[in-house]
Amino acid sequence: MSVYEEIIEREERLHDKATKSKNSKRKISEDSSPVRTEFQRDRDRILHSKSFRRLKHKTQVFISPEGDHFRTRLTHTLEVSQISRTISKALNLNEELSEAIALGHDLGHTPFGHMGEKILSELSENGFKHYEQSLRVVEKLEYSGKGLNLTDKVREGIVKHSKGLGDIISEANSQMPSTLEGQVVRISDIIAYVNHDLDDSIRAGIISDNSIPNSIKRKLGRDFAGRIDTIVNDVIHKTRETNLNFITMSDEIYKELILLREFLYDKVYLRKESEGERNKIGFILRSLFNHIGKNPAKFINKFPENDSTNRRIIDFIAGMTDNFALNLFKSFILPKNIY
């Protein structure tokens, strides 16, 4: 038996509702690897992509934080991957599929986090959503316009990873990923960001531990690790109760997760003290858009060929790291030393 055959045989021991890599499809057919499943190959392609490497210099919540321990878009992605693998392993699902989706889910995020996403949505002729851009990155932009040719299940998991908390405990949703592994990533993304954003906000001195609602401390946990552990365990046990019909959590934990997210929006994401910074980001990105638009051939690629100039300018800005965007902005805004 070959290495590949041994790996595929091990996949057959997964839960009956787990997704098997042998059933996956690519837009362009390829010969199989002798030592890796198709989902392993997808994971590796994402890990080696340029867009994945740029995540280390993209904002999660705090822009250019003065400290080594604040999250970036890359560390967020790794935390989502870890939580996804934990849940998938406990439910005997396909860990490799969950990992591939998790690693690729935020490849399309803009510089300056969700503030950047909002500005690009205003500038784009067709709007902008980071999860749609993530799919665009792996299908059309990576590898000099050729894309990564990922499997259908990974692509679907990426584009359907972000639909908010409103329907996370309901299976009646057409926007839910068709695979349980994709649903795992969707719920893991939320678990990761509300908890690490709370952790970073305390570290930044924006909120204090004493300001966290008591019910969250009592029911989820009093520290970062405790809250993650409580929610992940709840997801695993509640999903097992459904016989793995869909990935869910208990009403009690869901209620506290909603409360935690509302607390973050009120005290962190939309706080009045950040309004000036949001205006600065808007000015920077609009200035970049207008400057590039005056001479697009100098900045943007010619692929995809059938897309408009507006679309390709948006692609270029969305792919920037925070530092690249700031440096490019300075290059045409600040005067040069001519003496």
Q: For the chain, what are the domain ranges? A: 3-11+38-325
Average pLDDT for the chain: 92
**Residue 42 or 144, more confident:** 42
Give the CA radius of gyration of the chain. 21
Pick the CATH number of 3-11+38-325 from 3.40.50.300, 1.10.3210.10, 1.10.150.120, 1.10.8.60: 1.10.3210.10
- pTM confidence score: 0.94
Residue 263 has pLDDT above 90, yes or no: yes
pLDDT in tens, 84-117: 999 999 999 999 999 999 999 999 999 999 899 9
pLDDT in tens, 32-57: 999 999 999 999 999 999 999 999 99
Q: Can you give the pLDDT at residue 6?
A: 94
pLDDT in tens, 295-304: 998 998 777 7
Secondary-structure breakdown of the chain: helix, strand, coil percentages, each rounded to the nearest 5: 60, 0, 35
Segment 224-235 shows an average pLDDT of 97
Q: Can you give the pLDDT at residue 306?
A: 85
> Cis omega (within 30 of 0) on the bond before 304?
yes
Query: For residues 196 and 247, what is the distance between their CA atoms, to the nearest angstrom?
Result: 22
Q: Name residues whose C-beta falls within 8 Å of residue 307's C-beta, 6 or more positions apart in sequence.
A: 315
Q: Can you give the pLDDT at residue 305?
A: 77
pLDDT in tens, 108-136: 999 999 899 999 999 999 999 999 999 99
Phi, psi of 302 (to 5 degrees): -90, 5
pLDDT in tens, 310-334: 999 999 999 999 999 999 999 998 8
pLDDT confidence bin for 70, thresholds 50/70/90: confident
